[in-house]
Structure 1
């Protein structure tokens, strides 16, 4: 499977990659982001929107009854898919944040290097 994907970023919680066409070996434009038994297929713009959702979720603290370090999934993370929200805990939110930041960094680095090579 490793030859079928172009890995952008991964951490202990998930992975972000682009699928390669098995015939032409060209990398697809959309990014597959997988964490906790879920997979999202996002454009670059949708990943930026997801990053904004993650940033907003960090400001929405759980109720006073909940401990920030507990494993209870007490944070509702919105996604660019308006019909889908994900219940996560504070640790998972930090890992999703890292996954999305790392993915965006790699996408922007790839764009920058691609632009440099054109010149």
Structure 2
């Protein structure tokens, strides 16, 4: 954990930046890890992922699912066009919180850094 700058974490995962990347000037890359899967994303992609998680809450089922409401899985699209995830409602809630908390912390840090310049 000494090799990272933790941005946000919860019961399902963590969002962080590698210290070596930040020190080398690569501050745009954020790693979001949950369910044994890691995503290297920039701010725009984290925001897109968060918006897709909100959409998944409203869809409440996989499109074309034969179980129609009896299934506990939600289809969560990712910022990567070729990867979608099937998650439970609890996982979807936790992933949504992870992404929302990450966005909040990044925006707060940016705001504080801007104020400190003055």
TM bracket, shorter-chain basis: 0.7 to 0.9
Aligned-pair RMSD on alpha carbons? Answer: 1.6
Where 1:65 maps in the other structure, the secondary structure is: coil
- Give aligned pairs, total: 111
Structure 2 gaps, min length 5: 62-67
Structure 1 gaps, min length 5: 67-71
Following TM superposition, the consecutive aligned residue runs of length 4 or more in structure 1 with deviations greater than 6 angstroms are: none
Q: Distance in 2 between matches of 1:83 and 1:92?
A: 20
Q: Distance in 1 between matches of 2:26 and 2:10?
A: 21
Q: TM-score, normalised by structure 1?
A: 0.87
Q: TM-score, normalised by structure 2?
A: 0.87
Q: Distance in 2 between matches of 1:65 and 1:109?
A: 40
Kindly report which structure 2 residues correspond to 1:44-55, keeping only aligned pairs within 5 A, or say none. 44-55=43-54
Q: Does 1:8 align with 2:7?
A: yes
Q: Distance in 1 between matches of 2:91 and 2:32?
A: 14
User: Does the C-alpha gap of structure 1 residues 94 and 88 become closer, same or farther in structure 2, counting only changes over 3 Å?
Assistant: same
User: Does the C-alpha gap of structure 1 residues 118 and 112 become closer, same or farther in structure 2, counting only changes over 3 Å?
Assistant: same
